Amino acid sequence: MSAPGTAMDSLSAALKCNIIPNQEYLLQGSVLDQYVEVLLHRLRGLCDNVDSGPESFHDHELCFTLRAGSGSGAPIVLPLRVRRALDVADAPFQLRYVGQQELGDKNRPTVVRSSIDMACSSTIVEFLTELGCRLDFEYIARGYMFRKGRMKITVSKIFKVAGNKPVETVEPISQSYLVELSVLAPSGQDAIGEDMRIFAEQLRPLVQLEKIDYKRLGSMM
Amino acid sequence: MGVTILTQFPTENRTGPHTIDVLSKRIMALGALQQGQFLVDCETYTSVPQLGPQRTVHVLHNSEQPATVFSLLETGTKTIPLATDGLFDLLMMKMSSFYTSKKQTKAESKGPRYEIGDFCVKLGTVTVSSNFKGILVEVEYRPCVVPAMCWDLLKEFLQGFLGLSGPTNPPAYLQNRMQEIYSPIDTIHQYLEHFTIFRKSPGIGMRA
């Protein structure tokens, strides 16, 4: 009987075969509150989960960063996000690393960024805090999730979380819904970007899904 | 998943493989059947000075829970456990500018795994950065999840095939958790305790 290989061996094998979904392809947009029903109706018609209807979610997301000053120049920053379901009591927490978006080709139809996504135990918040992470901001997202093949479409309302206020009293951040179209896939599967572009076309003009450049957004504010 | 007790078995003047051989003959004589091999490993990372007070992250894998990565964060005042999917290892690589591993400290325990009735027995050869350090015997009593309710039974079973080297008291880590529900992270805690002792011990582990 052969001995079990180490976990690191199987991880490097998985990395070598490129089967780890560590790239996120993303398009984002928004829709005003008064038109969200129309969009949901359209998505119900276009997406796979027709019979069961869309899946609803109600999540609390905490965004942390781990930072350390390097000897020279800008500090090294590692962003980490924790998501927990408020509507499913025993669901595992999700831990997620999201990298900088790849500059790459300007003609690429979607944002591409590295992503490591995993389920974890509820000790994660304390673990990250003690690890040296800083809580930058947090919010509550509530909405619907649709699927189309391996594409995921979420329509979510974002709420402010202020201190220790109870979850029921949170205020919406704006009068619109955030719409995201994303796929998590192993690197190099750029064909998916084209599928996403075509799908996004079908949602126009209700919602305009685009590559959002956060750096530019930051300087606009 | 039941309650697991981890105990060190002294090698005395025997070699590691010889000790495993003696123990496996004993357990087979009791009617155990070998069911594959097992492996528990541990890598330790320490924070870089820029992050402030030093903290240590121990990342462990157990072949009994192959899809899980266990981490224990030691801050000096407390230990925070974390269980995640396998991709946590990938995240530790991303953290290499914050937490670095000392390659000389990679510890593992591996060897044959036996099943005998309600018990699962594992005979582990412990190495720290490939140097032989000693023998760890793991016994799990699977029908029960509260240590206090099966400790006496486990003690008797352990003494039955380890003789006088069997433990007389529950492991230190379990002593104030005897009434709680046992979970896989508790086994990880016990392994880390032993690995820490083995890392500090100079040659092969001769401690009782």
| Number of continuous H segments (helices) and E segments (strands) in chain A | 5, 8
Q: What angle do CA A159, A160, A164 make, to 5 degrees?
A: 120
* pLDDT: which is higher, B97 or A216: B97
Chain segment B147-163, per-residue pLDDT in tens: 999 999 999 999 998 99
B85 to chain A, any CB pair closer than 8 A? The answer is: yes
Chain segment B37-79, per-residue pLDDT in tens: 999 999 999 999 988 899 999 999 999 999 999 999 999 999 9
Q: Report H helices in A85-190.
A: 124-131
**From A96, which residue of chain B is nearest by alpha-carbon distance?**
B91
List the domain range (segments joined by +) for residue A193: 22-212
pLDDT band, very low/low/confident/very high, at A108 (cuts 50, 70, 90): confident
Q: Is residue A12 part of a domain?
A: no
Per mean pLDDT, which range of A118-132, A154-168, A188-202, B11-25 is the poorest?
A154-168
Closest alpha carbon to B17 in B137, B129, B139, B125: B125
Chain segment A67-83, per-residue pLDDT in tens: 887 666 677 889 999 99
Q: Which two structure tokens, joined as six digits, stand for A48?
A: 């796979």
Domain positions in chain B: 3-39+106-200, 41-105
> Which residues of chain A neighbour B36 with C-beta distances below 8 Å?
1, 4
| Number of continuous H segments (helices) and E segments (strands) in chain B | 5, 9
Q: In this structure, what CATH number is given to the domain that contains residue A79? A: 2.40.320.10
pTM (2 d.p.): 0.91
CB contact under 8 Å between B55 and A132, yes or no, is yes
**Residue A100 in this model has a pLDDT that exceeds 90:** no
pLDDT band, very low/low/confident/very high, at A165 (cuts 50, 70, 90): low
A200 to chain B, any CB pair closer than 8 A? The answer is: no
Q: Is residue A218 part of a domain?
A: no
CB contact under 8 Å between B66 and A76, yes or no, is no
DSSP B97: G
Integer distance in angstroms from the first to the last C-alpha of chain A? 62
Taken in order B160, B166, B169, B175, is the CA torsion positive or negative?
Answer: negative
Shortest alpha-carbon distance between residue A172 and chain B (Å): 32
Q: Is residue A93 part of a domain?
A: yes
- Number of domains composing chain A: 1
A72 to chain B, any CB pair closer than 8 A? The answer is: no
Q: What angle do CA B80, B43, A19 make, to 5 degrees?
A: 100
CB contact under 8 Å between A120 and B110, yes or no, is no
> Which residues of chain A neighbour B86 with C-beta distances below 8 Å?
7, 10-11, 118
B130 to chain A, any CB pair closer than 8 A? The answer is: no
Q: Rounded mean pLDDT of chain A?
A: 88
CATH class of the region B3-39+106-200? alpha beta
Q: Rounded mean pLDDT of chain B?
A: 93
> Which residues of chain B neighbour A124 with C-beta distances below 8 Å?
82, 84
Residues B12, B16, B22, B26, Cα dihedral to 10°:
100
pLDDT of residue B205: 44
